[in-house]
Amino acid sequence: MATPAYKIDAGRLPAVLDDLARHRQVITRMDRDGVNVFARYTGDMPSLRGNGAVSAREHFLPRMEKIHGYQLAPGEVRLSPAGPVEPAVLFGARPCDLAALELLDRVLLEGEFLDTAYQARRAATVNMALACDSAGPGCFCRSVGVSPAGTAGSDVILYPSGQALLAVATTARGAELLESLGLPGAAKDEVDRAQDACEQLVVPVAVETGPVTARLGQRLDDPYWAEASRRCLGCGICTYICPTCYCFAVHDINRGSQGARVRCWDSCMFKDFLTMAGGHNPRPTRKERFRQRFLHKLQYYPEQYGSPLCVGCGRCLDKCPAGLDMAGVIMDLGGGQ
C-alpha cells in the first residue's frame, strides 16, 4: 500500500500547528526583526522562507544546556538531574538541516560514548522537514549528497504545492503523527508533481569534495592554510550557524553553595578553545585553527565515517564576513571552479 499523503492548505496551517502544539512543543521558524530564527510556536504565523539564520541543530544541541544542578552540604555534594526533555515537533527545517542530524548521530550516538542529552532530544522530537522548491544563493547541498527533497533525518516531509503543503510520512512515528491530525488526503499526482519540482531543483553552487578529501592528508603543511587564514577574523560565525558543528565547553555556574553544571557552544575558531591547563595551546595561531575546522569537515570525519561533515546549507557562504567558506575552500583545494 502506498504511503498516504495529506494536504495542509495555507489557511489551515495555524489550526494544524495549534493541534500539534496541544500535546508537545512545536519548534518552527519565525521572523524576528527581519531575521529568520527557530523558535517555539506560540500562535504567531511561522515564516518558512530560506533555511533560518542559525541551523536547526540548536534544538538538539542547545546553546546552553544544564547537565545537572549541585548543592554543597556538609560533607557531601548533592546532584540534581537536569529535568525531563519535552516532546517536540520540529516544523519546517530544511532537508539539509535534518540530514545533518544523521551526521551528528554517528558521532554522538554511535560508538563507545553516548551523548544522552542529545539522544533524549532526538528521541523526543518528530521532524517535519520542508522540501525546497527554491534555492538560496549559497546552497550546494547536491555536492555533498543531500537533495532539496531529501528525507534523511525526517519523520515527515512537506512538499510545497502552490500555497499548500503536502505531507508524506517517512517513518512510522511520522505516519502516526500525521494520522492523528485528521487532515484531508492529497492526490497522488499532485504529490508527485510537487516532489518532482523539489527533486529537480537546481542549486547554484557545485563543488567536488572527493578529490579534496583524498589529497588533504598530504597537505597539512600546505602554504594554502597560512595564506587563506590570513583573512579569517577569528570569530565563531561559521561554527555557530553550522548544522554539523557540535563542539561545546562545560562550565560551572556557581552561586554560593549551589549551582549548575552547564554545557555551552564553543568554537574551534576561538583562540582559547584548545588552551590547556598550564597555558599550552596546540593551535596557537589562526592558521592552525582555520585548518582544523576544514580538516575536521573534509578529512577526519570522512576518513572515519565515509562522508564530509557538511550538508551544503550555504550559511557560511552567506555569512562569513571575510568570504571564507566551505565551498570556497573546497574549490581552492581543487574541488571545482
Partner 1 sequence: MTAWLDALRDHVREFLSEPGVDVFIGYRAGRRGREVPAFLTRPEQASGLVLGPAASGALAKYVLEEAAGTTGRLGVLARGCEALSLQRLVRDLRVERERLHVVGVPCAGVADLAKLEASLGALEKVESCGERWLVTAGGNRHDVDPSQFMEERCRDCASPWPQQCNISFGQAVMSPASPDYSTVAALEALPADERYAFWIRQFERCLRCFACRQVCPACSCVECSLDLVDPPWLGREITVPAQAMFHYTRALHVAGRCVDCGQCQKVCPVGIPVALLNRKLARDIQELFDVQNPFVPGEIEPLGKFRAEDREEFM
107/322 with CB nearer partner 1 = 322
205/309 with CB nearer partner 1 = 205
Give the CA angle between residues 169, 115, 84 to the nearest 5°: 75
Interacting residue with partner 1 among 249, 284, 303, 304 (CB under 8 A)? 249
61 binds partner 1 (CB under 8 A): no
Polymer length in residues for the chain: 337
Size of the site for partner 1 (CB under 8 A): 45
Beta carbon of residue 162, minimum distance to partner 1 (angstroms, whole number)? 22
Distance, CA of 299 to CA of 6 (rounded, Å)? 42
271 binds partner 1 (CB under 8 A): yes
Beta carbon of residue 317, minimum distance to partner 1 (angstroms, whole number)? 7
- What are the two backbone dihedrals, phi and then psi, of residue 213, each rounded to the nearest 5 degrees? -60, -40
**Cβ 307 vs Cβ 145: under 8 Å:** yes
**Cβ 95 vs Cβ 129: under 8 Å:** yes
What are the CA-CA distances from residue 27 to residues 59, 74, 129, 212 (Å)? 8, 43, 12, 37
Stretch that binds partner 1, among 68-76, 154-162, 236-244, 294-302 (CB under 8 A): 236-244
178/315 with CB nearer partner 1 = 315
In the range 95-134, which residues lie near partner 1 by CB under 8 A?
A: none
Phi-psi region for residue 227, left (φ > 0), alpha (ψ -120 to 50) or beta? alpha
- Grid coordinates representing 274 are 584548545
Stretch that binds partner 1, among 81-89, 163-171, 291-299, 326-334 (CB under 8 A): 326-334
Beta-strand relationship, 88-93 and 76-81 = unpaired
Beta-strand relationship, 64-73 and 258-265 = antiparallel
80 binds partner 1 (CB under 8 A): no
- Binding string, residues 191-220; x marks residues near partner 1 by CB under 8 A: -------------xx---------------
Stretch that binds partner 1, among 2-10, 174-182, 295-303, 319-327 (CB under 8 A): 319-327
> Three-class SS of residue 268?
coil
Spatial neighbors of 62 by CB under 8 A, at least 6 apart, are none
DSSP 179: H
Stretch that binds partner 1, among 105-113, 125-133, 172-180, 267-275 (CB under 8 A): 267-275
Beta carbon of residue 262, minimum distance to partner 1 (angstroms, whole number)? 6
Q: In what order do the strands lie in the sheet with 125-130?
A: 5-8, 164-169, 156-161, 125-130, 88-93, 25-32, 35-40
40 binds partner 1 (CB under 8 A): no
107/331 with CB nearer partner 1 = 331
Beta carbon of residue 66, minimum distance to partner 1 (angstroms, whole number)? 10
Interacting residue with partner 1 among 264, 284, 303, 334 (CB under 8 A)? 264
- Residues in contact with partner 1 by CB under 8 A are 32-35, 37, 53-54, 63-64, 137-138, 204-205, 227, 230-231, 233-237, 239-241, 249, 251, 253, 262, 264-265, 267, 270-272, 286, 317-319, 321-324, 327-328, 331
